[in-house]
Amino acid sequence: MPARSSRIPGALAMTAALLLAMSSTAYAGHDDDGIDPDNRNQAVKGFSLSSNGTSAMNHGKAELERSVITTSWGGGDIEVYDSTYGKTGWHGRTDCTNWNALWTSCDIIRIRLNQTQSKTASQWKSLGCHEFGHTADLGHRSASNDTDNNSCMRGAGVWPTRYDQHDLNAIKAGT
């Protein structure tokens, strides 16, 4: 989709608030306020990804397919980047780079995966699952509401690689 040429101040403020929130936690670094996908069919594209980044993207896309959201390749909805972003304290970030009209949902969602923060192969998959979960408007889970430790929305320290049924139900209810 064409890039929006201008944004209203309110959208900028929302973006700023989201960025601020993202810097406060260690893993993917934000809850998901404001990143609602604009529909249930999401086209995915990776940009010059490392093998780890490709693994994370492929796994995240496959996990999203388990939900009510269908995916395809080609981009325009979910765009995935990885780089050595530095010792930032975060492994991944998801934000919106192109809001839809009325700024109520996101047309192009950007995922950034941090190569600087070292991860095992399984942890890269967990990260992919986690960030793709944010594209579906999932927020973070905690030990108290994921007592069997099987949701990738938990994040670093636990590193589950899949959505649990609670996550899948939440995507269905929220998108």
Query: If we measure between CA atoms, which residue out of 93, 100, 56 comes closest to residue 76?
Result: 100
Work out whether 28 is an interface residue with Zn ion (CB under 5 A). Answer: yes
Least CB distance to Zn ion at residue 125 (A): 15
Tell me, what amino acid is at 173? Answer: A
Window of 21-29, 47-55, 100-108, 163-171 that interacts with Zn ion by CB under 5 A: 21-29
Work out whether 152 is an interface residue with Zn ion (CB under 5 A). Answer: no
Window of 16-24, 25-33, 35-43, 95-103 that interacts with Zn ion by CB under 5 A: 25-33
Least CB distance to Zn ion at residue 114 (A): 12
SS3 42: strand
Q: How many CB atoms lie within 10 A of CB 123?
A: 17
Question: d(Cα 166, Cα 146) in Å, to the nearest integer?
Answer: 9
Residue 145 burial class via C-beta count within 10 angstroms: exposed 0-12, middle 13-18, buried 19 and up: exposed
Least CB distance to Zn ion at residue 133 (A): 8
Query: If we measure between CA atoms, which residue out of 138, 102, 147, 108 comes closest to residue 7?
Result: 102
Work out whether 18 is an interface residue with Zn ion (CB under 5 A). Answer: no
Least CB distance to Zn ion at residue 136 (A): 12
5/56 with CB nearer Zn ion: 56
> Where along the sequence are the contacts to Zn ion (CB under 5 A)?
28
